[in-house]
Structure 1
């Protein structure tokens, strides 16, 4: 399939410029240093789940072609916090990135290579020319073919140089915990005795294990997975031999159910795309769900904007999952709720029957409220359930707090199921964030990862990239009987990427998982809350000068070799366009078939952002032939936020590329 991705023209690659380099032993790397190697430039940002998928997709390719291929991660931040060099260094360590990384906080190299979306991959040949330019994930098969082709071509020309690249591994650091992700309290007998009551179960993500911490938050009582060398992988067995890969969320089942199914703890084994179970008494680790293959969005159903409702089946080991990030035992639903970050959906799992179901989300990334079946989420990373049975969500990529109203407290007729509804309390969209308290509609977060519901009805957020714990409180009655409006306030700040927050057993302290400090900390609940206003902002990328008035937008797409556009039910492509501010677009906003649109840009608006989502559906099959009945179908989607600056005489058209390579 290399003919699908290889450029026909020869374009010289631009120099790699930024603030500095990581994983090179302190040395800068130039294109001249890389001459003779095949180079993959991976434009990424560490908040992005698709970028994390690409890191793992590339690892086998890097190992196979280690003497001829060099991957260079070009970190081009989306969020303000990601431009912090210490935060980037921590992310490079956390995700065990074993290639050079260029710190590109001002998007200098990003702009030089015309990157528009995260992730973007650019392949350079051994002579320093651009061989391919790809957006999104799922390209490893095409890249493998392209690398094989470039190796053969340049070995024959004598321009391929074998040997080590510029990667220099960092010195290892010994820690009790390493980038812990999530924590849950032990509130019942666990493992045949009550000795664990009051302890905490923690996903020690960077050590690829689950630990039980004593009440001092530092003493490891016992652990599961990783072994003495903290090795990652996938293996069931006893605590020492079991292996996880960057586990995140975990939840404890009710005692009666645990006795029935044979395990107490359910773990989101994130990079393995699986759910795992732990029997606290025997220590045995088992795989509960997921076949280890990353789940992709169902093309046919996503085209219609609706998900497959209900069950995916009761053979959970045959079903693909995608980066499960957090878990919650829901007493209301009687199931484990799963934040399926990789497909931007909410799943459920019934331990008693093994049934997996999609509970909410179409799988399309964004912020869209409404019924659970039609709502859009964006990398949901935190879950909690309140006293009414509603499920609260930290939706990280939209920097939002959202809630699924389950209807558990509704007036539905007996035997009539309530329809879950999704509502956004804080947040605007994929590229809007900030640090602002006050009225919820004006408040801003920055990539929150954790959430917990408190007994008083308020909700706490681990506002990760703001280094803060935030509190949302809905409209309520004061002690004097007056109505108090809903508000957002700050409980604590100055933390190092807090990824989870919960109420301590004593009810007077909060427990925070401070990921980049590699520890759990207690914070006293303050008598008065802070009010912070550091403003609202949007992702800062170079603006494109465009002409006001009539403006043409086109999305290029060609199906990969071995696939054809799925036109069985009409046009298989779709384009959604909106803008910030809304009045930037006088005409052309909305959702429609096709990948071309004529817009009318308001001459009275000087700058803004065009929000564009393009989708195309293709199925396995040859051009000119009918698609087989049971052919595998694929949905290709890309989201862009294009900052624009309106100038008379500037370009009046924009072409973006939606490439499909698998």
Structure 2
């Protein structure tokens, strides 16, 4: 039986509203249904009241701790249960930013991020601070490190939104991403309903943004880096500053492309803009960029000093198959890119770690075909491996395999003829054959494809080795080693546990 004041106790009540909304036509009908629902729900406010947040929790973006039944009494409160590594949680943030731009505490609305960690690394306040800066979160955030509030409300997945009334009473819950219309509808009607009843508190809450306490920095959360063939230039994705830096190996900056504000604009280096760029790949004075929060692949031509868009439409896509021409194909949160081969033509494919749909995609830079595929025209953007389900599933058939937020890509040596994938949410390294598309396990993770909680910091071979949310991989042809950025274990390049030796049948991590 669901506990009183829990999301599970609300779900049965809300289900009838969801059915009615599915059959409603015009917006006025939907608004009336929500207002009627709130009227009926008001008689049950006592049994749907949530418990108070525990004392002593760590807070960000506030001058003092907030209390659901204290200084938030009289507010409509949106609780965002999130963990900062989760791509679905990241997808939700633009919706919350838009909601904050429309309503504020003086309208009776407060948004609170309830950070409920998946990985031990995510329980640390300093790491949450970094995430608050990285994603420009300006609403209050509480560190529910032991998931106490998560468990009391019987939350089951990230992200989950819970909307509370002025008495800390449950009104609505929205599980997962992609509910912007309902979020705005439910919030607007809740504000109207309680304002008409004179129950809203329109006073300001004590906000103090964490970002305002920090000095400016040349780099802000650089996400990825690559080096050109000559070894003389580095390309840095300065993610938090929304720009790309081309730097000499001695540190001298050659070009700054985009930034410091986020946006989507093609053109010259000074007028172009990006939104949290991640992966970068360079060849022949051309750089390709995984423009993550724009859901785009961008091209930087160093000869003409121009930026153009080569894939994506600028909004998050849900298509898990693809096949259209690049600028007509919606994509979702590309996190890394690397060059590869198709149909025997070297360097003719840009491989994409498509974190948003948990897949590996391909952008054909020349006419060609993918392994065991049909010929495709130049510019095609298409799924190569991954069903789109968030799993750690290996399979000889690439479309039946599944990834969990792939975040890093690199090409193995020509003799291995494969891609290596840093599959962050399964805490594993996977390989994808460029001969037949077969997806195989390398190190980390778990044999159960549904278990995404097999993480740790253990040296060993294959499945016995444990990683924690790896974000990057790089193959060295000089040493025949695969280098792994084991991000949540904070392993440095000098630490042997960063090195994975790729030997036949065994994959030891040192």
CA RMSD between the two structures: 2.0
Flag the 1:454–1:332 CA change in 2: closer, same or farther, 3 A.
Answer: farther
2:314 matched to 1:277? no
Partner Cα distance (1:88, 1:50) in 2: 17
**Which string of whole-angstrom CA distances, capped at 9 and with x for unpartnered residues, describes residues 620-655 of structure 1?**
xxxxxxxxxxxxxxxxxxxxxxxxxxxxxxxxxxxx
Contact 1:224 1:283 (C-alpha < 8 Å) held by counterparts: no
User: Which residue number in structure 1 is paired with residue 280 of structure 2?
Assistant: 250
Q: What residue is the counterpart of 1:548 in the other structure?
A: none
Task: Structure 2: give runs of 5+ residues left out of the alignment.
Answer: 1-13, 19-33, 367-377
Match of 1:204 in 2: 238
Q: 1:266 to 1:29 in 2, by over 3 A?
A: same
Question: Which residue does the alignment assign to 2:62?
Answer: 24
Which of structures 1 and 2 has the larger relative contact order (alpha carbons within 8 angstroms, sep 6+)? 1
C-alpha separation between the residues in 1 aligned to 2:273 and 2:121? 32
Runs of 4+ in 1 over 4 A off after TM superposition: 5-9
Would you say 1:50 and 2:102 are equivalent positions?
no
1:64 CA drift (Å):
0.6
Q: What is the CA deviation profile of residues 299-343 of structure 1, one whole-angstrom value per residue up to 9, with x for unaligned ones?
A: xxxxxxxxx4xx6122x2222110000000113562100000000
Cα 1:203/1:148, change in 2 over 3 Å: same
**Residue 374 (structure 2) aligns with:** none
Displacement of 1:185: 0.6
Return the match for 2:480 from 450, 457, 469: 457
For 2:329, the equivalent position in structure 1 comes to 319
Q: Which whole-Å CA distance do the structure 2 matches of 1:474 and 1:384 have between them?
A: 13
* 1:340–1:347 contact (8 Å) kept in structure 2: yes
Q: Deviations over 1:511-530 (max 9, x none)?
A: xxxxxxxxxxxxxxxxxxxx
Q: Verify the 8 A CA contact 1:127 1:159 in the aligned structure 2.
A: no
Shift of 1:156: 0.9
Q: Which residue of 2 aligns with 1:341?
A: 355
Residue 232 of structure 1: how far off its partner (Å): 0.7
Secondary structure in 2 matching 1:12:
coil
Aligned to 1:101: 141
- What residue is the counterpart of 1:487 in the other structure? 508
Could you tell me how far 1:162 is from its partner in structure 2? 2.9
Matches within 5 A, 1:15-414: 15-17=52-54, 19-25=57-63, 27-31=64-68, 32-66=70-104, 67-68=106-107, 69-170=109-210, 171=212, 172-187=214-229, 198-217=232-251, 219-226=252-259, 230-253=260-283, 255=284, 264-297=286-319, 308=321, 312-314=323-325, 316-332=326-342, 334-352=348-366, 353-370=378-395, 371-388=397-414, 389-407=417-435
Q: Which string of whole-angstrom CA distances, capped at 9 and with x for unpartnered residues, describes residues 371-408 of structure 1?
A: 2110010000000001132100000000001000122x
Please name the residue that 2:50 is paired with.
13
Give the number of the structure whose residues are more often strand, by fraction: 1
SS at match of 2:456: strand
Deviations 1:248-283 (A, max 9, x none): 001113x3xx7xxxxx11111100111111111232
CA distance in 1, matches of 2:81, 2:294: 23
1:100–1:166 CA contact under 8 A, matched in 2: no
Question: What TM-score do you get using the length of structure 1 for normalisation?
Answer: 0.64
Q: Going by fraction, where is helix more abundant, 1 or 2?
A: 2
Aligned length: 438
Q: Which runs of 5+ in 1 are unaligned?
A: 189-196, 259-263, 299-307, 408-418, 477-483, 490-662
